[in-house]
Amino acid sequence: MSTVIEDVIARKVFNSRGEETIEVDVITTSGFGRASAPAGESRGRAEVVYYPQGGVDEAIRKVEELISPELVGFNADFQEEIDKTLHKIDNTRNFRIIGGNTAFAVSLANAEAAANSYGLPLFQYLGGYAAHELPYPLGNIISGGKHTSGKSPDVQEFLAIPYGADSFLEAATANVQIHSKVKEVLRKKDKLFSSGRSDEGAWVANITDLEAFEIMASTCEKVSNELGFKCGFGIDVAASSFWNAKKKKYVYERNEKELGPGEQLEFIQQLIEKYHLVYVEDPFHEEDYESFAELTKKVKNCLICGDDLFATNNERLTHGIRMRATNAIIIKVNQVGTLTDALDTIETAKRAGYVPVMSHRSGDTCDWHIAHLAVAFKCPIIKTGVVEGARVAKINELLRIEEFLGERAKMAELHIS
């Protein structure tokens, strides 16, 4: 079976926010792959540059003039060589010449083209026959912070994770039910609630952080009792977005309070203990490894996860591991550019006992690749929303994978309680 690349084609498409982004097709002698790049609203400073100067139009030009001529003739199943070539063409640490999203789209489309050439689903091509574990879906239910405007919580995301489910279908169903029941509670709580939703399909309402915690706790307990398995919840604080470096304080504008690093640590610890949180992402700003380490040491049965802290960067993760900063890491391939870069980070995380969490971006497309990557690379959790179209694309693809695996399918091992 030939995987020789015959053409690499780029075009402009739109993400779920209506922003321009790049989509790439890789065509081999006997296969085809397509991938489009997402965009985050809350971005870590260590992320690669999304696009070169000139934006998506310039990125397309780079594909046509630099990348396609270089890659034509390569074998698509030499993924590492393809990704090394993208680095060589760019020749910067942060992909500012061709753009990290350009590298991402080419890299993922190439992997799919190789899989398609062999007649294999992507997860099986990348992970082999041993890839048969489904991740637990971590879904955004209530939005705040940079994902909203006006009166809403300071905390960016309130997330459900049905970690007691026996199948992905059960887990996805639980998240949908939690999402639906929270809507009914918000209607009673906020008389002006208009069923508004954020980019990720989570509810936006005029409530405080503490009200959101109470709503999530009671709703998750109710759904747990109805379905007969444990549904927990957690938060993405996105603390870098309200860290004031001059004041050296976390400024909670909507809740009208300011907390120093020590007070922030105490506050987060109290929330974990009071609400039995099983997941906390970015509770401190992206350079405060010390506070991450202190919180991780103090709490039990809770994943302390770094997103902006690590930006899927292997060097930053290695530093975090030395400091024992967290016990989980968000994996966003477009934060580092290529599939090979992301896999290196995942492998480093696993060797250290960290839980890798495969993740979407707030401005995403209906591209489904991360569903396959979560299964292929044995990520126990996938963060991918609940109901919005770009999120449902990933959820539905995981349902198809579960069906494809049949009796071999099982949920990943996840020890958080």
CA distances from 373 to 108, 111, 234 (A): 10, 11, 23
User: Do 369 and 122 contact (CB within 8 A), yes or no?
Assistant: yes
CB burial string 162-192: b at 16+ within 10 A, e below: bbbbeebbebbebbbbbbebbbebbeebbee
Which runs of E-coded beta strand occur in 169-321? 232-236, 243-244, 249-252, 257-259, 279-281, 303-306
Tokens representing residue 361 in the block: 């971006």
Greatest C-alpha distance within the chain: 63
Terminus-to-terminus CA distance in the chain, angstroms? 47
CB burial string 97-118: b at 16+ within 10 A, e below: bbbbbbbbbbbbbbbbbbbbbe
Catalytic residue, from 230, 332, 383, 394: name it: 332
10 Å CB burial of residue 276 (0-12, 13-18, 19+) is middle
- Does residue 332 have an active-site annotation? yes
Catalytic residue, from 157, 200, 281, 397: name it: 200
**Which DSSP category does 4 fall into?**
B
- Does residue 378 have an active-site annotation? no
**Lookup result for tokens 């209906």:** 366
**Lookup result for tokens 């005029």:** 206
Phi-psi region of 276 (alpha: psi -120 to 50; beta: other; left: phi over 0): left
Tokens representing residue 153 in the block: 């919580």
The separation between CA 206 and the C-alpha centre of its own chain, rounded to angstroms, equals 26
Catalytic residues: 200, 332
